[in-house]
Amino acid sequence: MPCGGTVPADVAYLLNLKLSQRFYEEENFSVVADCDSRTGHIKATHIILYKQQFYSMQNGGRKGYIHTCLCEEGLEQHQRLVVTQRRLVEDFVDFLHRERQLQCMHASALEKLIPSVLDVCQGDPQDRNQEQASDQTDVNIHQLCENPLLVAVESGHAICLLQYNRRSKKVTCTCKVSSGRTCIHKKTYEEWRSEGNGQEGENECEQPRTSTSTSFDTISKASIPYPLPENLQEVFMDYESCTRPFPSNLIPSIPENSKCTCNEDWDDSDPVEKGWQIGNAIIYKDSLSLTHMPDLNGQLHPIGVYYRKCKRGSCKLFYDGQEDLLFNVNNRDLIYYGVLFKYLHHMLEGRNPLAACQRALKHNHAMLSGSKCIPIHVLRRGWNSFARLLHVDWDKWFTCPICGPYPETVVCDGTAVGFQKRHMDVFDDKETPTCTTPISGTKQKDRVLINNPKVRRLLGQFAKGSTPLTPEEFQSILDFTFTQSHLYSLHNVMVSLQGNLTCPPPYKLLMKNLAYNSPASAFVQGTSHESMAVLQEMLLARIAFFSSGCYAELNFINEQYPVLTSLMHPLCVNGQLPDNIYSVIYDIVGKAKSCVSPILSSTQYPPASPIKTVKEMFQGLEFFPGLHQLHGSGTYTTSKSKDRIRCRDEYDCTKIARGHPTLTPGIFTLYCEHGVCYGFQAMKQHESPAVPFNILKTRFPVAPRIVIYDNACHLHQYCLNREPSFFKETMFLVDRMHMRGHVGCCLGYDMDAYKRLDIKKINSQVNEQENAGLARIKGQLAYMVPSNFMFHAGLFLALRNKSKLSNLSSIN
């Protein structure tokens, strides 16, 4: 709540600034919210305060600054201090005490929030004035706030503010150019944003962003090896041990067998002697920025950047810097590789975004050296270009060496890491081609053993036993099962149990699973038709699976049909099953066999999209470097209404999606059982079985043997509705953590129901564990344009994969 009223105006203004946090400090100036001089209430507009730096040569020399303002009250003080040439003949403490009594309300409040700094003066003040003047030749952009937009454009000693006026819905500049014209500061800011710098602000310059990509062009363009080779590691060790200085003349070396664009050789003359200098440079390190380097005599000289000409003289070769571990951003700002690699690994293991990294560097520079820190827009441009130049073997790093290009076991899931929804408008509704001829699958009502929801509910109540059935309810089960030919065996079982209004304990597990709305094939997942035919022959022969003389048969059903074994074992008496139980199991297997349609030829699907390069993948929403699309998506006749409503139960499993109001739903990742990510897809809508279905169907020549997913029960039904033959031998399993919430699913989806070693050893949480790493950078990814989002997510997963591959290699 704003302060004012009976509180003095200057006190109210200070408190309001603290509450709103609308004050911003930069290296040469500060910006604060303007105020009403009578009440101290802050306004929507802002005002610039300059940091006037002074040097006093008394008592060993002191330096410091004081804030001055261009408002009506502070203008006289500002103009008077400007003409002092930054030199003081008195002690700086006495100077500060006197001048603070004359400050305006803005400067006085800011002095209390950001006190003036005193330090020992190093070097001649006149030299520092000249150095600062040389630093002011370029235009610097400072994005102070994104919402509402507030930008300071610093050009020389002049500073202008761009700020968004919510009342007029326009971005205004304090330079006050004539109406109908766009000032140079707006144009400069738009060019700076077009390079991918800064964060997008509210209605910035009234130019809506329609592109999904950004450009991060720098002078350095050579591919950067990861990790560094031995020769560059030696250079790094020499720098860090101070046995090797940075070069004072940055001269481009001539690449081997390299020619210019006009097919001429490069001139091998000395660029220093030729005078081919672009200008002076600054090298940014962790806690020190270098502008000068000593010569052999110890004299300091500015660091110069040079170029080469071709022998014709029409082309130029610029300094790349890789041999010196320097990344050339713009022939003026060069970033030490150590800074960029440090942020790369902080991104992998920490939560700090690039802006937080720059602020930490700024504190390092201020506390340890007092040198100029790298500006955020230079660091952002340098980092984004550096990251794209890293030599990443995308195909190799996104493929498990044990599983190969098409893993037989996949663990998949979605994670809520998204970007701004408004960027989705530029993407087509369909990224993959679809066929026009509808493809028919099977229907859920034909796959489930009991397709009447009311009868399933009564059977479940009977199995649970908490509420006994009435005679009328029990009779309704008998009436329905009698009319269904494939349920006649179950009818005989129920007749034998008539008079029991609750289920006898040996029958509970069987009845409970038959009451679920799960397809019959869920009981026999991962088996072939030939194997099911063998089992049916055994059932017809009434093999005593659990007797002492049937070890081979018992091993067969334990390995192939562990779920059926679990259902039959409680009903066994002296190794033999009741006769009608053999018939029930036989009908379950028969129902599972009947719901498979013919396999379609590849000609019935549209052709795949052309194979994309990695750079092209980043422009879309799907990134699977090693899993190229084999064909387009099919169009299916399955209805989303009648079939689902008719077979839906009251207690069916549901996966509730709670979306973010401004961010996309997230990404869907695909891992193998060894924890190697094969790629991801940015989801346009909330996570559904359609996402993994399309990935598995269009990118795998043969369906995986095992699919582990927290919504595997619905994915299984979705696949059988569309491509039952393609997925006929695939096992759909719910991961161990989420299975406890699947109270409406049969035992066939439970991983712990399978005693096979290949399933028991699978870490079903590998996807959840790896996606937890992505959560560390979700704050950074949320404000990126789609192409930058896809790149950073891909780079993060690639480097995590590389670490995983190294571990697998050491184990093997």
pLDDT of residue 200: 53
* C-alpha 389 chain-centroid distance: 19
Give the residue among 802, 682, 706 at the shortest CA–CA distance from 756: 706
Structure-token pair, residue 553? 């048969």
Q: Where are the alpha helices (DSSP H) in 114-242?
A: 125-135, 184-194, 230-240
pLDDT of residue 131: 41
Say which residues have a Cβ less than 8 Å from residue 175's Cβ, sequence separation at least 6.
160, 183, 185
Rg of the chain in Å (alpha carbons): 36
Grouping H, G, I as helix, E, B as strand and the rest as coil, residue 109 is helix
Q: How far is CA 352 from CA 339, 358, 376, 668, 777, in A?
A: 14, 10, 14, 24, 8
The four Cα atoms 125, 130, 135, 139 give a dihedral, to 10 degrees, of: 120
Angle 377-380-384 (CA atoms, 0-180°, nearest 5)? 145
Say which residues have a Cβ less than 8 Å from residue 273's Cβ, sequence separation at least 6.
none
- Phi and psi at residue 519, to the nearest 5°: -65, 155
Beta strands in 169-238 (DSSP E): 170-173
| C-beta of residue 444 within 8 angstroms of C-beta of residue 452 | no
Sign of CA dihedral 453, 456, 460, 461: positive
Structure-token pair, residue 518? 């799960």
pLDDT of residue 121: 39
| C-beta of residue 597 within 8 angstroms of C-beta of residue 442 | yes
Grouping H, G, I as helix, E, B as strand and the rest as coil, residue 157 is coil
Residues lower than pLDDT 70 in the chain: 1-6, 55-63, 85-87, 115-139, 156-157, 176-182, 191-215, 428-436, 596-603, 639-658, 811-812
- What's the farthest any 2 CA atoms get from each other in the chain? 112
What percent of the chain shows pLDDT beyond 70? 85
| C-beta of residue 337 within 8 angstroms of C-beta of residue 286 | no
pLDDT of residue 642: 44
